């Protein structure tokens, strides 16, 4: 995954959000992930179709995960 700075999102081709909207949406997504992941054996796949974000449950044993240090940043 490439690193994308939130400040850069409004300038990405096809994105029509302002900075405040970007931050709001990002934290809505993070809150949704936190709500859906209650146990260590759960995982979630996040898909973006260009307009909407979709969440799919998955067995954690089938997944590769983000570095926990990254996740601690949001805790």
The structure's pTM equals 0.56
| Tens digits of pLDDT across the chain (75 residues) | 577 787 787 788 887 777 788 788 889 999 998 888 887 788 888 888 877 889 998 888 888 777 778 777 766
* Helix intervals (H) in 1-75: 19-36, 68-72
CA angle 54, 58, 63 (to 5 degrees): 110
**Distinct helix (H) and strand (E) counts, the chain:** 2, 2
The residue extents of the domains of the chain are: 6-72
Cβ atoms of 26 and 7 closer than 8 Å: no
């Amino acid at each position: 995954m490439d690193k994308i700075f939130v400040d850069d999102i409004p300038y990405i081709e096809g994105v029509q959000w302002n900075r405040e909207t970007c931050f709001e949406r990002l934290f809505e997504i993070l809150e949704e992930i936190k709500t859906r992941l209650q146990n260590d054996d759960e995982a979630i796949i996040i898909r973006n179709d260009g307009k909407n974000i979709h969440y799919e449950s998955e067995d954690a044993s089938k997944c590769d995960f983000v570095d926990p240090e990254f996740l601690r940043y949001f805790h």
